[in-house]
Chain A
């Protein structure tokens, strides 16, 4: 088991951080994600679009006084994230056994 087995889309530093946050709660608003990760609007939007195109996250737009966009992991996204963490754990375990 090595890094080649990892999903390259999820394994990017920022996307992995986004997936980890989305896995910790039911949903996150754009502002919350931006504040937590200290990312610029443009950078965050680009990564969210990539994850959304692949069906890993869902996007909800609603009016709460002002327009608010919130994000959540889809079932596919949750499974992909779980698999990703399992591969990372496998790599660590493999090296420990060597």
Chain B
């Protein structure tokens, strides 16, 4: 190996280490898998509940709709905390790493509007059949939250953020343009975004990891 190749290799190692140290994936593949699976199951449950032969035998009410999705969020957050704790324990890193702190600080402002809108919806909003508005707020601000980590996140997470944001903003446009949309549109949008998008993301991250392997930095 000549001096140039050695110098290039050293620079590559330095760049890889520094990039890896400053990259933080706010949504891991296992978390996306859990969130995506729970979302698909919840969307299916809500969708099927309206059939007379289903166990519920009636259409899910607006505040029940909101509570089901809040439950999905809570379960996914618990699963994520478990995955982070397990990873921290096995690697000897702190539970709240500097990357996680940075991500939480970036994400937090994006959660204010959806949190307030959800509280309003649960108090009075559910009376006005505004599930579609609620879903649009959740999807758009979730996309913005992911995009707020784009400076230090891998590209796949930014793509997921854009997918949520573009889907979220296109829903009201489509709803205005198309006459007589069915009542289950909010549920379909939730299943599509929080369900399908997360499952696709998890599959992509896992397949990339498998292709790349766990390449040590010193090679």
Given contacts A24-B17, A89-B11, contact A37 B217 (CB under 8 A): yes
Decide: A16 and B21 in contact? CB cutoff 8 A: no
Q: Tell me the dominant secondary structure on chain A's binding face.
A: helix
Distance from B32 Cβ to chain A, minimum over Cβ atoms (Å): 23
Asked whether any CB of chain B lies closer than 8 Å to the CB of A92, the reply is yes
Distance from A92 Cβ to chain B, minimum over Cβ atoms (Å): 5
Q: Hey, which chain A residues are within 8 Å of B212, CB to CB?
A: none
Bound-state CA distance A14–B218 (Å) is 8
Decide: A31 and B92 in contact? CB cutoff 8 A: yes
Asked whether any CB of chain A lies closer than 8 Å to the CB of B98, the reply is yes
Given contacts A24-B17, A25-B21, contact A92 B217 (CB under 8 A): no
> Contact mask B93-106 → A, CB, 8 Å, 1/0?
11001100000000
Give which listed residue, A24, A34, A88, contacts B18 with CB less than 8 A.
A24
Bound-state CA distance A58–B97 (Å) is 20
Given contacts A20-B18, A24-B22, A95-B4, contact A85 B91 (CB under 8 A): no
Q: Tell me the dominant secondary structure on chain B's binding face.
A: helix
Chain A minimum-CB-distance residue to B214:
A38
Decide: B20 and A36 in contact? CB cutoff 8 A: yes
Bound-state CA distance A88–B93 (Å) is 32
Asked whether any CB of chain A lies closer than 8 Å to the CB of B184, the reply is no
Distance from B215 Cβ to chain A, minimum over Cβ atoms (Å): 11
> Contact mask A70-98 → B, CB, 8 Å, 1/0?
00000000000000010011011011100
Which A residues lie at the B interface, using CB under 8 A? Answer: 2-3, 11, 13-14, 16-17, 20-21, 23-25, 29, 31-32, 34-38, 85, 88-89, 91-92, 94-96
Which B residues lie at the A interface, using CB under 8 A? Answer: 2-4, 6-8, 10-11, 13-14, 17-18, 20-22, 91-94, 97-98, 216-218
Please give 11 more A-B residue pairs, beta carbons under 8 A apart, in addition to A20-B14, A20-B17, A88-B11. Answer: A2-B3, A3-B7, A24-B22, A31-B93, A34-B92, A37-B217, A37-B218, A38-B216, A89-B7, A91-B3, A91-B7
Please give me the 4 A-B residue pairs with the lowest Cβ-Cβ distance, nearest first. A95-B4, A31-B92, A35-B91, A91-B7
